[in-house]
Amino acid sequence: MQIIQTDEAFRETVAEQALVTVAVFKTTWCPDCHFIDPFMPDVEAKYAGRIQFVQIDRDDLPDLCSELNILGIPSFIAFQGGKELVRFVNKLRKSREEIEQFLDRALEVAGALQE
């Protein structure tokens, strides 16, 4: 997963990708963020070629997170062509199944917009 460290890098990454880009917002101190770490590589592999994943540490980019209204972590926002498609943002722990349902929904929305 690509780690984004500046607002500019984030904006460039979500604007330039033809693929759906999912931004994963985390922090180092968040236990629910660490809960998803063991299975996220498998999730990334499952969606390879369809979704690009990027990771943002909320504490490193607080202004961007405020702009995007990231209140709970981990949170996920799907983008395509610089536009937000759908988000999975709340303060609850997220299971692999919930994350995959969100990713499937992001792909559905992207597909519907291309039709």
Residue range 62-67: average pLDDT? 91
Greatest C-alpha distance within the chain? 42
Considering the entire predicted model, what is its pTM? Answer: 0.90
How many structural domains are present in the chain? 1
Residue range 22-47: average pLDDT? 93
Task: Please report which confidence band the pLDDT of residue 53 belongs to, taking 50, 70 and 90 as the band edges.
Answer: very high
Residue range 20-34: average pLDDT? 92
The domain of 70 spans 2-114
**72-105 tens-digit pLDDT:** 889 999 999 888 999 998 777 899 999 999 999 9
Buried b (16+ CB within 10 A) or exposed e, 16-46: ebeebbbbbbbbeebeebeebeeebeebbee
Task: Please report which confidence band the pLDDT of residue 7 belongs to, taking 50, 70 and 90 as the band edges.
Answer: confident
Contact predicate 74/26, CB 8 Å:
yes
Task: Please report which confidence band the pLDDT of residue 57 belongs to, taking 50, 70 and 90 as the band edges.
Answer: very high
Looking at residue 94, which CATH number applies to its domain? 3.40.30.10
**38 secondary structure, DSSP code:** T
